[in-house]
Chains A and B, each alone.
Chain A
Amino acid sequence: AQSVTQLDSQVPVFEEAPVELRCNYSSSVSVYLFWYVQYPNQGLQLLLKYLSGSTLVKGINGFEAEFNKSQTSFHLRKPSVHISDTAEYFCAVSVHNDYKLSFGAGTTVTVRA
């Protein structure tokens, strides 16, 4: 079975500063990786996904993530955050022919002016 560990439960960051959210996964087979964002009192919105190919994946709202197979990581980055990026971020994994998502515990990002 696959699993996801998000290494930081809370990340405070100042506006216009960069942010990195760390995600490590565990699986015995090839994986598909996703980052979702949950704004306060809302559902989950897909930020980006890695299916195959280029290890650097660009998503919406200026986010990007890099798949590192040797380190089993899929860290999310944004070079300059805005107040509106305040949200909870979830890393998730699925595998071929078992499409359910296994989620990490989430990282709460709080952007301060």
Chain B
Amino acid sequence: DSGVTQTPKHLITATGQRVTLRCSPRSGDLSVYWYQQSLDQGLQFLIQYYNGEERAKGNILERFSAQQFPDLHSELNLSSLELGDSALYFCASSIRTGGVETQYFGPGTRLLVL
């Protein structure tokens, strides 16, 4: 158990809908990262938040957005869903030690868009 929690574990929805994925980082970790794992694209970085502020953006679609709240939990919002958005979405949290960050991953949310 990494200490990172994600809910829900599974999500089934229809095209055009909007969903929210939730992540709670390990106690004391200020950084939260979101990744998408799909069969065709592999593991791809989406976005990073550090202590409530967006720090870095990767291959995140405009239909997707995220935020990190004062209690440091984070939410990833996916809207106007398409079949191709079906994937496993991971959250990771990290703490910076000596200028280096090590990321610990949650169990993921498996999204199926029908």
List residues of B (11-51) whose CB comes within 8 Å of A's CBs: 31, 33, 35, 42-45, 48
Interface residues on A, range: 20 to 34
Q: Which of B31, B35, B99, B105 makes the CB contact (< 8 A) with A96?
A: B99
Q: Looking across the interface, which residue of chain A has its beta carbon closest to that of B108? A: A43
Q: Which of B43, B48, B98 makes the CB contact (< 8 A) with A90?
A: B43
In contact, A45 and B48 (Cβ under 8 angstroms): no
List residues of B (70-114) whose CB comes within 8 Å of A's CBs: 90, 92, 94, 96, 98-108
* Contact flag A44-B48 (CB < 8 Å), given A36-B105, A105-B42, A106-B42: no
A99 to B105, CA, bound (A): 14
Is B2 among interface residues, defined by CB-CB distance under 8 A? yes
A34 to B103, CA, bound (A): 10
Q: Which of B2, B45, B100, B106 makes the CB contact (< 8 A) with A101?
A: B45
> A65 → chain B, closest Cβ, in Å?
15
In contact, A101 and B103 (Cβ under 8 angstroms): yes
A94 to B104, CA, bound (A): 14
In contact, B105 and A44 (Cβ under 8 angstroms): yes
Interface residues on B, range: 20 to 34
Is A46 among interface residues, defined by CB-CB distance under 8 A? yes
> A108 → chain B, closest Cβ, in Å?
13
Q: Which of B56, B106, B107 makes the CB contact (< 8 A) with A100?
A: B56
Is B58 among interface residues, defined by CB-CB distance under 8 A? yes
Q: Looking across the interface, which residue of chain B has its beta carbon closest to that of A104? A: B42
Residues 76-108 of chain A: 1 if any B CB is under 8 Å from the residue's CB, otherwise 0? 000000000000001000101011111111100
Q: Looking across the interface, which residue of chain A has its beta carbon closest to that of B105? A: A44
In contact, A99 and B107 (Cβ under 8 angstroms): no
In contact, A94 and B107 (Cβ under 8 angstroms): no
* Contact flag A99-B48 (CB < 8 Å), given A46-B102, A94-B101: yes
In contact, B90 and A32 (Cβ under 8 angstroms): no
Residues of A within 8 A of B (CB): 32, 34, 36, 42-46, 49, 51, 90, 94, 96, 98-106
